C-alpha cells in the first residue's frame, strides 16, 4: 500500500502547483529564479516555476502525508525533493533551448520522481523493486495522462 501513497504524494507535489495557478491566476506568481538568466542568455528556470507552486506542492505533501500514515516531516521533504527534481528538469530544458512547458519525456518525469522516491527508499527501508515501481508508475502515468489533461484544459500542450 505504501507504493500507492508514495504515488499519491508525487501526484500532489506535481499537480498542486498547477491547481494553485488555475485558482490564483497571476496572484503570487513570483518566479523562483527572479527572472534571472544563465550565462547562455536563457532563463535560469523560467517564469512558470513560481514560489506559489513550490509552496502549494510542499504544503500539500506535508499536510496529506499524515492522512496516509506518514509523518508531516516526511511529506515535506518528499514534496521538496519532487519539486527540486522538477526545477532541475526545467534548468536542463532551458540549457537545451526548450521552451517552458515543452515536453521532454523522461527528463520531465525522472528527476521529480526519482529524487523523492530515493529518499523514501532510505527513510522507509523500502524494497528496491517497490521504489523502482513507483518511479515507473509515475513516469508511465504522466506520459499516458498528458493527452487527456490537455483535452480537459489542464495542460497547455497535448504532449
- Domain residue limits, the chain: 2-151
pLDDT single digits (tens) 43-61: 999 998 999 999 999 999 9
Q: What is the pLDDT of residue 151?
A: 74
Q: What is the pLDDT of residue 99?
A: 76
Q: What is the pLDDT of residue 35?
A: 92
> Residue 4 has which C-alpha cell?
500507492
Q: What is the pLDDT of residue 157?
A: 62
CA atoms within 13 A on the CB side of 42: 14
Could you say which residues of the chain have pLDDT below 70? Answer: 101, 149-150, 154-159
Angle (CA) 79 84 89, round 5°: 130
Q: What is the pLDDT of residue 14?
A: 92
Q: What is the pLDDT of residue 85?
A: 97
Q: What is the pLDDT of residue 150?
A: 65
Contact predicate 58/79, CB 8 Å: yes
Query: b/e map of 36-59 (b: 16 or more CB within 10 Å)?
Result: eeeeeebbbbbebbbebbbbbbbb
Amino acid at each position: 500500500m505504501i507504493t500507492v501513497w508514495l504515488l499519491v504524494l508525487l501526484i500532489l507535489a506535481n499537480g498542486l502547483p498547477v491547481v494553485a495557478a488555475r485558482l490564483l491566476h497571476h496572484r503570487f506568481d513570483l518566479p523562483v529564479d527572479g527572472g534571472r538568466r544563465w550565462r547562455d542568455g536563457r532563463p535560469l528556470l523560467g517564469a512558470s516555476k513560481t514560489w506559489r507552486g513550490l509552496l502549494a506542492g510542499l504544503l500539500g505533501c506535508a499536510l496529506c502525508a499524515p492522512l496516509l500514515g506518514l509523518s508531516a516531516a516526511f511529506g515535506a521533504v518528499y514534496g521538496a525533493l519532487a519539486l527540486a527534481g522538477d526545477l532541475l528538469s526545467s534548468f536542463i530544458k532551458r540549457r537545451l533551448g526548450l521552451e517552458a512547458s515543452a515536453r521532454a519525456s523522461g527528463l520531465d518525469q525522472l528527476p521529480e520522481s526519482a529524487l523523492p522516491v530515493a529518499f523514501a527508499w532510505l527513510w522507509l527501508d523500502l524494497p528496491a523493486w517497490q521504489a523502482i515501481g513507483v518511479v515507473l508508475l509515475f513516469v508511465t502515468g504522466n506520459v499516458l495522462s498528458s493527452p487527456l489533461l490537455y483535452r480537459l484544459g489542464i495542460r497547455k500542450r497535448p504532449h
